[in-house]
Structure 1
Amino acid sequence: MDANLRFWRAEGQSFFQRFLLWADALDPLLLLKSSIKQAFVLSLSSVHPDTDKIIPVLFRPPAFMPITLPLVIISSVQREAKPSFFWQFVFHTYTAAFSLINGNGTPKAEEYSLQQKQIFLGLGAVSYSACVGALPLISVNRYMLKSPLMQLVVRKLLPAPLFGLTSAFTVAMVRSPEFDNGIEVMDRNGKVVGVSKKAGEKAVMETALSRAVLFGTTFLLPEVLMYCVQRARFVKNPRALGPVRMFVVMSVLAGMLPVSFSMFPQCGEIKRADLEPEILSSTEETEFFYNRGI
């Protein structure tokens, strides 16, 4: 078992423990640091716990917020279908690549065919998610839905669940080889005892759910808060609403990132009864562990 995964297993048992660890590991300044004092946090944020390889800088957890924040803001203010599709395509392309790079390897699959499959699934998932995200604006423009109620539903309320669902869908698609081919499971001593499709499915579904919560909340909560700000007239100058909105989105995303990453343990646990018979026949262990990925 990788040293980082051992640490997550020992120190990340509770949500609060995981939240504090992620709050440190998600610091964007870690991308610029290399001091010995920060060595362990740097390891958590830059070394893949499944492969032990260095994660490319743009796809490390500390880079997630600086890259996704402007994409979230731009996507949320679009009023035309074509620009909305483009920016959502860029957004989902990055999050799909992030999920793929920070997922698990699939030992049973041939590397070349697996890469082809993941590229195909990724492009399909990204294109589909961008189309679904732009669909409300297409409907508004095509069918001339000008009533205040329809404008409220389509422009303010609908994007949040759509972004949440499409984000989860993208994770599930690009990491689907994990539940098709399985991921490694380990005993309490860190010894690999087999490859489990059920553990792979559990890892992918947990990550997809956390991503849905992250972006669903990031799109919904700022709309609610901005409605309250405008209703209470806290901001007198209409020109100031734009910067206020950007600050609110940034605050919500910054708060939700460690929350969503902490929803499930990084070193996931799966019971003996939930594993395949071929794994159970080779060991008497009752508890098994796997890398969930992010």
Structure 2
Amino acid sequence: MNIPVSLFLKKLETGFLLWADVLDPLLLLKSADEIRRTRLFIENSAKTLSEPIKNDQTKQAFLLSLSSVHPDTGKIIPVVFRPPAFLPMCLPLVIVSSLQSQVKKNFLCQFAFHMYTTGFALLNGNGTTKAEEYLVEQKQIFYGLGAVSYAACIGALPLIFMNRYKLKSPLTQLVVQKLLPAPLISLMSAFTVVVVRSPEFENGIEVMDKNGTVIGVSQKAGQKAVKETALSRAVLFGTTSFVPPVLMHFVERAKFRRTPQSLASMRMLAIMTVLVGMLPVSLSMFPQCGEIKREDLEPELLSSTEETELFYNRGI
């Protein structure tokens, strides 16, 4: 396991402000050669660094590595699946999905949305599952496609139901168009994360002590990593789907002049504002360098260390 980045997270202030910096889209413009040089610099610094990062140059190098390099494999993540690309890629898909009232278009928009978020979860998950690598990748891709198709069908189900039975009452439209989308997209976002990262809790992931020494492979750590990531994804898209319709409900009831075009613009602005604010919040809900108590590990791992806390890469 390449430990510098995953353990280096313990040496930097974590939280909302950190992820706000990591999500800077300008980091996507850095070349692969610059990222590799930064990675080497980080690895050399990690060998001697014992205090939190204070040097600005070191901090900027770390942010570039965190935003571009997988902490387990050390490989450069494809541009469109790096954390800074998550917002630019998801925002138009979320907006278009929320505006589509036709079943086929709504299904296709949701399929594209879940396809991207599932690919993001796959490429940014833990990379230390202990099984035949080719078989794991094949299984994840197969399960991922099934999960994406299922999630898109469930997302379009309210519109299918409303159109099939010609339910046009104001109450039905309120439930289908404003109340149901939030819990459905929240559950399906968590579902796709769990499915595509299932090898992590089936085969286990590596856990380390504070010095970066790998203690063993733990299924319980894998379960914890996947559970926390799925919960953060559910909170992100559940909030993004719930808050804008509530705000628009009050706007539509307000007594001032408005046009369909202005309402659509305000709806898009509300979605963008909530998603921009919630993305670093969801990423900072749980630390990327996860911690697990020694007593929570499998019995066979307890004899391998006397450390009370062990660490693993949660993924994002």
State the TM bucket, normalised to the shorter chain: over 0.9
> Deviations for 1:22-60, whole angstroms, at most 9, x for unmatched residues?
000011121124688543221110011111111110100
- Preserved CA contact (<8 Å) 1:106 1:181: no
Q: Aligned equivalents of 1:174 and 1:24: distance in 2?
A: 27
1:8 aligns with 9
The one of 23, 26, 38 equivalent to 1:26 is: 23
Alpha-carbon distance in structure 2 between the residues aligned to 1:108 and 1:239: 53
Partner of 1:154: 176
Instruction: Give the gaps of 5 or more residues in structure 1.
Output: none
Name the residue aligned to 2:45. none
Letter in 2 for 1:245: R
- Structure 2: stretches of 5+ with no match in the other structure: 39-56
Q: What amino acid sits opposite 2:8 in the alignment?
A: F
Alignment pair present for 1:286 and 2:286: no
User: Scaled by the length of structure 2, what TM-score is found?
Assistant: 0.88
How far apart in 1 are the matches of 2:263 and 2:256? Answer: 10
Distance 2:63 2:280 in 1: 14
Question: What displacement does 1:6 show?
Answer: 2.3
* CA displacement, residues 149-173 of structure 1 (integer Å, 9 cap, x when unaligned): 1110011110011000000000000
* 3-state SS, counterpart of residue 185 of structure 1: strand
| Correspondence for 2:43 | none
Give the share of equivalent positions with the same residue, in percent: 70
| Partners of 1:185 and 1:196 within 8 A in 2 | yes
Aligned residues: 290
Shift, 1:234, TM fit: 5.5
Cα distance in 1 for partners of 2:71, 2:248 equals 40
- 1:129, 1:235 → 2: CA distance? 38
Higher relative contact order by CA 8 Å / sep ≥ 6: 1 or 2? 1
Residues 2 and 52 in structure 1, CA contact (< 8 A), matched pair in contact too: no
- Describe the SS at the equivalent of 2:291: strand
Say if 1:186 and 1:288, in contact at 8 Å, map to a contact too: yes
Distance 1:6 1:108, change over 3 A: closer
1:109–1:181: 8 Å Cα contact kept in structure 2? yes
- Which SS does the other structure have where 1:218 is aligned? helix
Instruction: Give, as a single letter, the amino acid of the residue that structure 2 aligns with 1:220.
Output: F
CA–CA separation in structure 2 for the residues paired with 1:234 and 1:157: 25
Change (3 A) 1:195 1:235: farther
Q: Do the aligned partners of residues 188 and 5 (structure 1) sit closer, same or farther apart at CA in structure 2, a change above 3 Å counting?
A: same
Q: Is contact 2:129-2:199 (8 Å) kept?
A: no
How many Å separate the matches in 2 of 1:119 and 1:72? 23
Decide which moves more: 36-45 or 218-227. Answer: 36-45
2:86 to 25, 47, 64: 64
CA distance in 2, matches of 1:289, 1:252: 32
Would the alpha carbon gap of residues 243 and 186 (structure 1) be closer, same or farther in structure 2, given more than 3 Å must change? same
TM-score normalised by structure 1 residue count: 0.95
The runs of at least 4 aligned residues of structure 1 exceeding 6 Å deviation read none
Q: Rate the CA distance shift 1:227–1:80 in 2: closer, same or farther, 3 A.
A: same
SS at the partner of 2:70? coil
What residue number does 1:190 align with? 212
